[in-house]
Structures are given as structure tokens and as C-alpha cells.
Structure 1
Amino acid sequence: MKAVPDSSGFSLASAIFNLLDPIPFGFFVATLIFDVIYANSANVLWLKCASWLVSIGLVFAIVPQLINLYGVWFNKRRIRTRGEAINFWLNVIGIVAALVNAFVHSRDAYATIPDALWLSAVTVIAMGLGRIILAGRNVTYKELNNGQA
């Protein structure tokens, strides 16, 4: 078997999605790291930085998720794969967990742990699983007969 890239053509929406989709995930991973540091050090600076990171990550998550919503559920010109639908719902779970996490981070510093820590973990795990599922959709496998496609 040989890996052949999917030739689905260029679209501006997919280019914007591919450009902006990793940004919120990076902010949410940083939020998780800062929550772990705060849980171990009790230095309020780490928690305040984590609250900013989760808020900025939510702002950057809006556009890619709207593009994903259209591409997965409303675009009639392309076939929706099961992996894309699972990725969409995992991203929704991650964004909802991040939104609740932003509200938890608005509490007093000493009242946030352990809630902020496990909400950050749920966000990163859900979005990470979605990214892993999406990574498999870009490659299709074709059987080669005598070296010819």
C-alpha cells in the first residue's frame, strides 16, 4: 500500500481553518501547564496568566469552529466523513469545557483548583483526540498493482 494525498482542491475556508485551528489548542495546552504550575506552587501569577490564556483561546476558537460547522454539517458539495463529525463534537466538548473553565478562573484564586485543573485537562484531551482523528483524514491508501497506481 502506498499513501496518496487527498486531492480535494483549494478553498479559502479550508485555508483559513487550517491556519487558525491550531491556535486555540496551543492556548489551551498552555492553560493546562499554567494550572499545573499553580497547583504545585500556589503563586497567583500563574493562575491569572491561565485565565488570560483560556479567554484568548476561546476568542481564537470561534472562527475555525464556525468554518468547521459549515464544512461538516451544511456543505452539500462534499461528503462528510465520520472522522470529521467526531472531530467536530470533540471540539464542541473542548470549547464548552474551556468556557466553563473561563468562568472557574474568574473565581478567587484559591477556589479554582482542582476544578480549573480537570477542566483544562478535559479541554486538551478532547481537542487533542479531535486533532488525532483529523490527522488520519488527509491520507487515503490505494493498492498498487505491479508498481502502477
Structure 2
Amino acid sequence: MNYPAAPRRSAVANAIYGLFNPIPFGFFVAALIFDIIYAKTGVILWAKSAAWLISIGLVFAIIPRLVNLAQVWITSRRISTHADHVDFWLNFVAIVAAILNAFVHSRDAYAIMPAGVWLSVVTVLLIAIGHVIIAVRYSTVREYVHG
């Protein structure tokens, strides 16, 4: 008996997504750490460094989000799960928060506090929740397939 092949996602797109997806999260976590240090010390170096980290994180967030957009909403609609959709929207809202955070960090000196810290926390939490949701989905899929 022949079974139809299950629809799959592009291996190249998965490789690009897997390569670039963790990079923005690292930049945003570093920016959060720098924001906390700046809130405690008041040394402007930490605020300017956090602004650069947020900007670079936003640049690196473009590629995996475009791949995710194509996989979840355009090419692989039939095989994308609810977890994929939730992860997409969490990352989208996190990027919007990071854009707002970049604008907040363009202010002078201590004017970025406390909004800079809170927006950094929101950005990191949203992306972390998205990673947890996807990790849980993949662990349950593997158990189902192998179990």
C-alpha cells in the first residue's frame, strides 16, 4: 500500500531559520543585562551598549522572522500547528517591543529608565515563551512518533 508523502518544510529554510533564530535572543538578553547594570550604576556606557545590542538584535531578527512568516502562513499552512502560530505572534510582538525599546534608547541619559528595562524584559520574556512553546511541541511530537 502506498501512502502519500507527508508535506515537509524546506530543509534550506529550516537550516537558515535554525542558524539565525537564536542570535536576536542573545542580543536582547545582553541588552537586558546592560539595562539592569545601567539602572544600578548610571554609567552611560551601559545604556549606549544596550541601544546598540537592541539595534543589532533587530537586524538579525529579520531573516528568521521572514522564514517563519513564509513557513507558518504561506508555504506550509497545512502542517503548521497552533504552537507555530503562537510562536510567530509572540516573536512579532517581541520585535514590536524591541522597536519601541530602540526608540526609548535613543533618548538622553537616564530618560530611558525605567521604560528601557521594562521593554527589554517584555522582549526577552516573549521570545523565551515562544522558544518554550516550540520546544514542548517538538518534544511531544518526538514522543508520539517514537512512542
What is the letter of the counterpart of residue 142 of structure 1? Answer: Y
What is the letter of the counterpart of residue 14 of structure 1? Answer: N
Task: Give the number of equivalent residue pairs.
Answer: 138
TM-score (norm: length of structure 1): 0.87
Partner Cα distance (2:42, 2:101) in 1? 18
Residue 79 of structure 2 aligns to a residue whose secondary structure is: coil
Q: Does 1:49 align with 2:37?
A: no
Q: Does 1:93 align with 2:101?
A: no
**1:111-126 equivalent positions in 2, closer than 5 A:** 111-126=111-126
Q: Does 1:136 align with 2:130?
A: no
Q: Which has the higher strand share?
A: 1
Q: Which residue of structure 1 lines up, in the alignment, with residue 82 of structure 2? A: 82
Q: Map Cα deviations across residues 37-60 of structure 1 (whole Å, 9 max, x no partner).
A: 000000000000000000000000
Q: Which residue of structure 1 lines up, in the alignment, with residue 15 of structure 2? A: 15
Higher relative contact order (CA 8 A, sep 6+): 1
Runs (5+) with no aligned partner, structure 1: 1-7
Q: Map Cα deviations across residues 108-135 of structure 1 (whole Å, 9 max, x no partner).
A: 0110000000000000000000010111
Q: Which residue of structure 1 lines up, in the alignment, with residue 70 of structure 2? A: 70
Partner Cα distance (1:78, 1:60) in 2? 28
> In the TM superposition, what is the alpha-carbon distance from 1:143 to its structure 2 partner?
8.6
Q: Which residue of structure 1 lines up, in the alignment, with residue 105 of structure 2? A: 105
TM-score (norm: length of structure 2): 0.88
